Structure 1
C-alpha cells in the first residue's frame, strides 16, 4: 500500500513498505525511474513470497513524490534515500541500487551504519561527471554555463534535462576518486550490451571495492536488465547477500 513520508527537508516521498523478516531489502531506482518499474515490482513480489521486509520509494521529482525532476540533484536524492531508510526500516538493510541507485547506495552507506550489503544493477557511480559532462561538446558546456541547463535526447521518452546544479552537485558527491569503504558483501550485475553504463564502469567499481565483492557480466543484456533471466539473476544476487550475512 502506497504511503507518503514527509522528510525534514519538506519533501513528500511516495513509498511502498512490506513488513517481514530482517534484513530489510531497499530498492534504489535509477534516474527518472520510479518504484513501479519492472525490477522494483519483481523484487516486491519476491519479498512477499519469502516474507522478507522490503521498501521501494520514489525520490523527490520522481514518480508520485513531490518536487520537480529538473530541480533535483544527486545530493537531494541521497538525502531522500537516507530519510526513507531511517524512517521506514529497522535493523540491518541490504541496498539494491539500479543505475543511479548504485551511486546513491554508496552515499547512503556513508551516513547509515546499518547498511549490511549491496546489490548493484548496472551501477552508475559518478555518471554526471564521467558520462554526462565528459560527453558534452563545447556548445553544450556553453549552454550549461550560460543558461543553466541542456537537453539531451533519450530513448526512454522526453529529453533528459541536465542542469548546472546536477553537474556541480555531482562533483561534490563523487565516490570513485578514492577507495570505497567496505561494508559487507557486494554483488554487481552488468550487461555487456549496456550502452548507458558500459561494462568498463563495473570493472572500475570492482577495482575500488574491497572484501566480499563479485561481478557477474551477462552477455547481451542491456541497461534495463529486466528480462526474465536478468530478474532471476537479481533475485539470486540478493539471496546470495542474505546467505553471506546469515
Structure 2
C-alpha cells in the first residue's frame, strides 16, 4: 500500500495526515468530534480505496490524534481551517470527494463552499452540522451553564471514554458557522447515510441537509437499526457503496 504520512505546518503547529496514492477524485475523510484518522471508518475506506486504486487523504485536526495543539483550543472554524490547510498542502489541485463523519459532516459542508468546481461529491455519515447550537447547548443543565460562564469550560460525560472538554469558545464559534439556517450552495452529488437509532444526531437531520442542499443529485439512506457510529460490517459496506457511487 503506497500511503505516505505527512506533517503539514501551520502557524499553530503541525497537522498529521496520510495520503494514499491512486486515481482521483481523491477521497478525503473528515473525522468526527474528538475522533481521528485511525478510526474504523477511516481505515476501512483507506483499505477500500487501496483495493480500488483510488487516492485517499486522511487527517487529524489540531488537538486530535497525532496533530499538535490542545483539544480545548479547537473550534469548528479552526478545525475547518485545519482540513483546508491539509488539502491545500497534500492535494492542491485534484478533484475531491469529501466524506464527513458526524462533526466531519459539518466541516465538509463548510469546505464545500470554498472548493467550487473541485468538489466532485459529498458523503455525510451521521452528519452533524450545527450540533453545538442545536444539540449541545439546549441539553446543558444549570451546572454546565454555570461552569461555562464562570470558567469558560465544562466537561461533557462521554459514553465512549473520558469526559470531553466543551469550551465557551467552541459554542460561540459554532454559532458563527451554522449552515442549516438557509440554502447550502452545493451542486455536486450528495449521499447521506443516517441511522434511525442514532442517540446523538436525530435522523431527521439528514433530511434537513438534503432539503437545504442546492443541487438535485441528493440521496438519503436511512438505516433503521443503525446507531451513531455506523461501523458494523453492513454499515461499512453501505458507506463504501455510497462513496464509490460518485
Taking structure 1 as the reference length, what is the TM-score of the superposition? 0.95
Moved over 4 A (4+): none
1:61-120, CA deviations, whole angstroms, 9 ceiling, x for partnerless residues? 000000011111101100001111111113210000000000000111122222221010
Cα distance in 1, alignment partners of residues 70 and 236 from structure 2: 30
In the alignment, the residues of structure 2 paired with residue 119 and residue 30 of structure 1 have an alpha-carbon distance, to the nearest angstrom, of 13
Q: Given the alignment of the two structures, is residue 100 of structure 1 paired with residue 103 of structure 2, yes or no? A: yes
Give the Cα separation in 2 of the matches to 1:150 and 1:130: 17
Q: Does the Cα contact within 8 Å between 1:29 and 1:98 map onto a contact in 2?
A: yes
Aligned partners of 2:183 and 2:213 also within 8 Å = yes
Match of 1:83? 85
The residue number in structure 2 matching 1:194 is 198
CA distance in 2, matches of 1:57, 1:170: 21
Report what 1:126 is aligned to.
Answer: 130
- In structure 1, C-alpha distance between the alignment counterparts of 2:120 and 2:244, rounded to whole Å: 13
SS in 2 for 1:159: strand
Matches within 5 A, 1:57-76: 57-76=59-78
Match of 1:112 in 2: 115
Per the TM alignment, residue 138 of structure 1 is displaced from its structure 2 partner at its CA by 2.9
Identify the residue that residue 244 of structure 1 maps to in structure 2.
none
TM-score w.r.t. the length of structure 2 is 0.95
How far apart are the structure 2 equivalents of 1:216 and 1:137?
A: 34
Report the aligned-residue RMSD: 1.0
Structure 1 position 194, deviation (Å):
0.6
> Are 2:12 and 2:69, in contact at CA under 8 Å, matched by a contact in 1?
no
Shift of residue 182, structure 1, vs aligned partner: 2.0
Deviation at 1:180, TM superposition (A): 0.5
1:15 is aligned to 17
Structure 1 residue 220: Cα displacement: 0.9
Q: Given that residues 35 and 64 in structure 2 are in contact (C-alpha distance below 8 angstroms), is that contact kept between their aligned partners in structure 1?
A: yes
Provide the rounded CA distance (Å) in 2 between the counterparts of 1:147 and 1:99: 27
Q: For this pair of structures, how many residues does the alignment match?
A: 240
Could you tell me how far apart the structure 2 residues matched to 1:206 and 1:112 are? Answer: 19
Q: 2:28 maps to which residue?
A: 26
- 1:155 & 1:118 partners in 2: Cα distance? 28
Contact 1:116 1:183 in 2 (8 A): no
Does structure 2 conserve the Cα–Cα contact (< 8 Å) formed by 1:26 and 1:94? yes
Contact 1:82 1:112 (C-alpha < 8 Å) held by counterparts? no
Deviation at 1:17, TM superposition (A): 0.3
Deviates more, 1:133-142 or 1:99-108: 133-142
- In the alignment, does 2:51 pair up with 1:49? yes
**Unmatched 5+ residue regions in structure 1?**
242-246
Give the match for residue 235 of structure 1.
Answer: 240
